[in-house]
Amino acid sequence: MWDKLCKPEAQLDSFLREPDQPCTSGRRSGTSMTPKLANRADGSPNLEAREIAFDCRFFLGDRPCVWHKASGVLCTCDHYQRIEHRLLIVKLDAMGDVLRTTALLPALAESHPGSAITWITRRESRPLLERNPYLTEVLSCGEDELVQLQVRTFDRAINLDAGKTSAALASLASARQKDGFILDPCGFVQPTNAAARKWLEMGVFDDLKRKGSRTYQDIMMEIVGLSGAPHRYVFELGDEERARGRTHLEKLGVDLSRPIIGLNTGAGHRWQLKQWREDGYLELVERLARRHNAQFVLLGGPEELERHRRLVSRSRVPLIDSGCNNPVRHFAAIIAACSLVVAGDTLAMHLSLALGRRLAVLFGPTSAAEIELYGLGEKVVPRMDCLACYKPTCDFVPNCMDLITTDMVEAAVERQLSLSTVSG
C-alpha cells in the first residue's frame, strides 16, 4: 500500500487538479466587484458605502492605492486596470537565479493580458524585484505569507526551483494550473511536465548537466510553455539610485569621465571554486594599466573583505575598494557606473547583464552554456573534461579556475573594451 501511495503517477494528478473554489475576481461572469451592501436596521438602503474596485491591479486591500494617495480619485477611476489572471511565481534561491528568472516576466505578461503577478522569494532577494513593472506584489517566504497561501487562489502557479521548500510552496498554492515542480506526500520533488522533467534530470545526473547546451532562460521558457519567446532581465534602478552610486565612487576618488573596470573577484563563501586566483587579477590590472587610462574598482560582498584588503596591499596599480557591505541595490548602482566588469558566475555578473554592462565572465565549476549574455560580453572557459561539476571546492591541482590564464582574460577584456568604445 505504501509503495502504491508513493508512486509519482499516483499523486501527480491530485496536485494539478483545479481548486475547489477558484478566485474568479468577477472577471469570468462580468459581475461587478462591488459587494451587495446590507440595508440599515430600518430596511432602507445603505447609500453611504463607497465602491471598492477589488479587481483593480492597484488595489492594496488595507491602505489607499497610489492614485487615490496622489490625487484623491475614487474607484473606479481612469487608472482602473481590471485583473483578468492571477499568477503566482515561486523563486527563492539564489539571488542571481531570482534576477535571471525576471527575464520570463515580459513573455508571461504578454501571454496573460490583464494579469496580476505575485512573486514569493526569500527576504534577501526582495530588493532585486523592487520597481519591477510586471509585478503586482512581492512576498517574502515567511510565516505570514504561508498563511496567505493557504487561503488565496491563483489561476496559475509557476515554480522553477527543484528544491523541496519551493516545491512544497507550489503544492500548497491553490491554482488551476501548476508549472515546474511540486512536492508529493512522500517528500519527493515531481515535475509537472516533460520540459520540467528534463531540467530535473539535469540536476540529478552530472553527465546530462555537462552535455547541456541551452541557456537557463530558454529552458525555463519551455517549462512555462513559451518556447521561442523573446526574453530579457527586468531590473530597474531609479535615477536617484544611479546618482548615489556615482557619488559613492566619486567620494572614493573615481573620475567618472575615465573608463571604470569593475573587478568582482570573489564568489561568496559557498562557491570558493568559482574564484579566480588573486595573482591573476594583479597581473591583469598591471597589463591593462599600461594601455588604458582606466580605473579599477573592486566589487564584492562581506566574504570578499579580506581578499580585497590583500589585493589592495599587493597591487602596484591603484585599486579602489567600493566596499563589501553595500546593500544590493546600491551595489547594483556602483556596477551601473562601470564601463566593463570582470566576474565569475556571480550575482555581480547577473546585475551587469541586467544593467547592460559589458562583461568578461570566467567559468569553471558551473555551466557556461546556461548563461545568456545577450550580446554583452564573452565567456572565458578553460579546457577541462570535468567542467560544470558544481563542486564548491576541488582537489585537482591545477583546478579549472587555475587553468584560466591571464592572457585569456586580458584578450577578452580588450575585445569588450573596444566594443564598449564603439557602442559608446
pLDDT of residue 271: 65
pLDDT of residue 39: 56
Lowest mean pLDDT among 34-48, 320-334, 370-384, 388-402: 34-48
Q: Is the dihedral of CA 153, 148, 108, 110 positive or negative?
A: positive
Q: Are 88 and 175 in contact (CB under 8 A)?
A: yes
Ordered structural domains, the chain, with CATH: 84-223 (3.40.50.2000), 239-423 (3.40.50.2000)
Task: Kindly give the residue spans of alpha helices, DSSP state H, lying in 84-193.
Answer: 95-101, 105-111, 143-149, 164-172
pLDDT of residue 273: 79
Report residue 270's pLDDT band, with 50, 70 and 90 as the boundaries.
Answer: low
* Mean pLDDT of the 302-327 span: 97
CB-based contacts of 279: which residues, under 8 Å, 6+ apart?
none
Residue 274 vs residues 284, 299, 365: alpha-carbon distances, Å: 17, 15, 6
pLDDT of residue 45: 58
C-alpha cell at 82: 481590471
pLDDT of residue 188: 96
Interatomic CA distance for residues 175 and 157, integer angstroms: 6
pTM: 0.87
Q: Are 193 and 222 in contact (CB under 8 A)?
A: no
Whether the per-residue pLDDT at 6 is higher than 60: the answer is no
* pLDDT digits 0-9 by tens, 283-299: 999 999 999 999 999 99
* Mean pLDDT of the 296-310 span: 96
* pLDDT digits 0-9 by tens, 163-186: 999 999 999 999 999 999 999 999
* Mean pLDDT of the 95-124 span: 97
Interatomic CA distance for residues 55 and 129, integer angstroms: 23
Interatomic CA distance for residues 275 and 159, integer angstroms: 30
* pLDDT digits 0-9 by tens, 350-397: 999 999 999 999 998 889 999 999 999 999 998 877 777 777 777 777
Residue 260 vs residues 163, 171, 223, 246, 345: alpha-carbon distances, Å: 38, 47, 39, 11, 20
* Mean pLDDT of the 237-262 span: 98
Q: What letter represents residue 109's amino acid?
A: A
